[in-house]
Amino acid sequence: MTPAVQAAMDALAPYAQSMDAEELSFAISADVSLRVMRAVDNPDVGMDDLARIVTAEPLLSAKVMRMSNSVALNPAGRSISDLKQAVMRVGIAPIRSLAMALTLDQLRHSQRMSACRQLANRLWERSIHVAALAYVVARRLSTMPPDEAMLAGIVHDLGRFYLLGVAAEKHPDLLKDQHSLVLALDELDVVVGRKLLETLGLPDAIVSAVADRNTFGGSMPPEKLSDVLFLACWLAPPANPFEDAEARNDARGQESAALGLDRQTIADFVTASGDEIYSIALALEA
């Protein structure tokens, strides 16, 4: 570990230790995500109540509408334009993912991220790709709930997002050496990500899957949510915004043999599911 990486870790680590709900000043829309998550966890909240919550946030409404008409949820091509019908088609759990995607989108556009906008944008783009892939991997290659997999994909880099915002706002000097900063974020992410997800009240299954996403269980089809998330991360664009794409592809070829992955099965899956993956990513990103 270089002195620059250690210095970045030393500067950011205290913010991870003192994290609490009031520290999570992500963006204006964060309260919308929290309301949606509370609604999902409340057995007394029905579709009508959820539709009213969604209606209160135009950007979330747009995401729900686009998701409802995506290839993944509307393979027959029967488009709908009524928001309540869209909420019913999408379902309660995926709307939580859309709300969290909205929060991250607002965060990357916030003033606090202005000094590191490019890095934030690339982290965001990766989160969207991982979420879309996780949903389709779970749906087509496993027995895991695809809705849980999508939410795990959306929040899998939340720790990096949080720390990047802290760096930009509190320690802008760290942005001068972005390579070292990215390495520091990688080191701190596991602990910070878990604390962050727990503070936000996300389900234990999501928290555990995100924490274990760097380790593959070794079976195909995947048997655990963390394995689904591992495959989604493995298939998605570069993990680090500064990771060399060509070198990564070479490494992936070697890793597949070491991990026992059936590359042909994965290649066939990506080819057959391309439209579905793209439609989910588009709905999350809209």
Phi/psi at 200 (5° precision):
-80, -5
Model confidence at 52: pLDDT above 60 = yes
Top-confidence residue, 7 or 237: 7
Residue 220: strand, helix, or coil? coil
Q: Contact at 8 Å (CB) between 55 and 99?
A: no
Q: What is the pLDDT of residue 27?
A: 39
Tell me how far apart the alpha carbons of residues 31 and 125 are, in angstroms, rounded to a whole number.
22
Q: What is the pLDDT of residue 206?
A: 92
Model confidence at 254: pLDDT above 70 = no
- Domains, the chain, with CATH or none: 3-14+29-285 (1.10.3210.10)
Phi/psi at 141 (5° precision):
-115, 0
Tell me which residue of 277, 284, 286 sits closest to 136, measured CA to CA. 277
Using CA atoms, how far residue 1 sits from 8, 113, 184, 214, 215, in Å, is: 11, 26, 9, 20, 22
Amino acid at 252: R
Tell me how far apart the alpha carbons of residues 185 and 154 are, in angstroms, rounded to a whole number.
17
Q: What is the pLDDT of residue 274?
A: 81
Q: What is the pLDDT of residue 245?
A: 64
The arithmetic mean of pLDDT across residues 62-70, rounded, is 85
Condensed to tens digits (0 to 9), the pLDDT of residues 94-106 reads 888 888 888 788 7
Q: What is the pLDDT of residue 29?
A: 45
Q: What 8-state DSSP symbol labels residue 260?
A: T
Question: For the chain, first and last CA: distance in Å?
Answer: 39
Say which range, 19-33, 34-48, 133-147, 215-229, has the weakest mean pLDDT.
19-33
Q: What 8-state DSSP symbol labels residue 101?
A: H
Condensed to tens digits (0 to 9), the pLDDT of residues 169-184 reads 889 999 999 888 888 8
Q: What is the pLDDT of residue 262?
A: 72
Top-confidence residue, 93 or 205: 205
Q: What is the mean pLDDT of the chain?
A: 81
